[in-house]
Amino acid sequence: MPSVADVLIEGLAAAGARRLFGVPAGGSTGALLRSAAARGLPVVAVHSALAACVMAAVSGELGEGPGAAAVESAPAALAGLAHARLDRAPMILLTEPAGSPSVQGDALAKQSLRVAADSASRGVARAAELAMAEPRGPVHLALPRAAAERLAVPGPATVGRRPPSAPDVAALDAAAALIEAASRPVVVAGLGCRADDGGWVRALAEALPAPVLTTLKGKGTIPEPHPLALGILGGGAPAEPILHRADLVIAVGLDAVELGGAPWLDGATVLHLGRARHTGQGYVAAVEVVGAPGLVLEELAPRLRGRARADWDVAEVDRARRVRAARLAAGAAGLGPNRMAQLARELTPAGTIAAVEGCPAMLGAALGWLAVAPGECLVPNALGTAGFALPAAIAAQLAHPGRRVLCFTDPGGLLRVLGELETAARLALPIVVLLLGAAGADLGAVARSVGMLADQATDPVA
């Protein structure tokens, strides 16, 4: 008869978790790691709770099910929980119970559930359902060490997968009418745009036609070399004049958490097309249609046939793109983040994934890396998670073993997760780590000490 830990591992696998990221420990965490190894769920041993959570969050973003992490202490994982919550990443975090509910993660997780022998199967199924429900996010499971190896009471363990519901017909009609009435629409794509949505966003932009901005998390929704792609909203792109001249903003997969309080859409007429209802933060939606962006746009397409073409001045859009290119070129002197990203993009094959460190100084790398599909540039929302890049790169390489993966980081970010260099070396992952701004810090010696190759480039402009 299976133990509680066994039932939890079986439930994670049934939910679509591809592996368990864990910090080796005793107690319930040790029981979970042993059970996963015995039951065929790959275990990735890491050195810190932050790294485990980031890897699980990125795995959830790139996969079909939630990522999973097991660490001993809930308080040690709070930064990782905060990252997953801000990134809307589906993740299940398993820890031992500790302290008050706020310490356990209730303030950051979508929900914190305590597991017992008679609730293990039900609890893990509920956690998976909550993590994947829109807006997606982290769920915390607290497993007491005394319960982990007890025999579990049999119970229902089916993981509920809700099929996407069809968009509301009346809302679709209202959205089509709003687009029909607009002469200068702009598309803003956010983190809700996933792999299957990019083609539909591009088709909408070309059919209207309409220039497209994306958030950092929405990079690649439309190929960034596309003539209608204007770059990152608020990321130094000369988009504000066009945004202010627009008479309709079509927000596709945009989450209010991405706007960071910036008044980009103040006073604009906004059509919200998203996986979840708009919260009302950041902007007021004149019309909203809830559903997967690709499905919504597919349903909208026949309603827009015969629509008059938008009245954008092609020269104005082209000028905005050229000004953006000039700004990027001006910021690419020497071997700064922007130039390094541009060079790396030129030297790597199509489909290469870049993971960018979570600090404002690395914005240049995110801007310089031209993504042509969703998921090609992994960036924490608002660049808010220091120590993100290396764990994210490891998770991406595990999820996509046939693709190249680069990590753009700085000394501050790398030092937070320095032990994960050993993780990458132990797993023999062919990740390339580009450490920028490391003058005076010989972190290459650390890399060499764990068996990685390391070299140093000198900036001729510095």
Tokens coding 207: 């059919």
Pairing of strands 248-252, 270-274: parallel
The architecture (CATH level 2) of 4-148 comes to: 3-Layer(aba) Sandwich (3.40)
Question: What is the predicted pLDDT for the residue at 332?
Answer: 59
The boundaries of every CATH 3.40.50.970 domain in the chain are: 4-148, 331-449
Token duo for residue 7: 């039932």
Residues 6+ apart with CB under 8 A from 365: 337, 338, 340, 341, 354, 356, 357, 408, 436
The reported pLDDT for the residue numbered 383 is: 86
- What are the start-end ranges of the E strands in 7-114? 20-22, 43-45, 67-73, 91-96, 112-114
pLDDT of residue 243: 84
Where do you find CATH 3.40.50.1220 in the chain? 169-324
Coil, helix or strand for 37? helix
**In 10 A of CB 367, how many CB atoms?**
27
One DSSP character per residue, 272-338 reads EEESS---SSSS-EEEEEES-HHHHHHHHGGGGTTPPPP---HHHHHHHHHHHHHHHHHTTSTT-HH
Q: Which residues of the chain, if any, have pLDDT below 50?
A: 100, 103
Cα dist from 70 to 67, 94, 309, whole Å: 11, 5, 53
As a residue count, the chain comes to 462
Q: Got the DSSP string for 180-226?
A: HH-SSEEEEE-TT--TTTHHHHHHHHHHTT--EEE-STTTTSS-TTS
Burial 110-136 (b: 16+ CB within 10 A, else e): bebbebebebbbbbbbbbbbbbbbbbb
**Structural element, H or E, at residue 32:** helix 27-38
Inter-residue contact 237 to 216 (CB < 8 Å): no
pLDDT the model gives residue 444: 77
> CA 196 to CA 200: how far, in whole Å?
8
Residue with tokens 């023999």: 428
CA 176 vs CA 274, 292, 330: distances in Å: 15, 17, 41
Class of domain 331-449: alpha beta
H helices of 39-119, in order, are 49-62, 78-87, 101-104
What dotted CATH number matches 169-324?
Answer: 3.40.50.1220
For 251, the enclosing helix (H) or strand (E) is strand 248-252
Is the preceding omega at residue 135 within 30 degrees of 0, hence cis?
A: yes
Alpha helices, H only, 331-384: 337-347, 363-368
Confidence at residue 19, expressed as pLDDT on a 0 to 100 scale: 99
Q: What is the pLDDT of residue 354?
A: 99
Question: pLDDT value at position 345?
Answer: 96
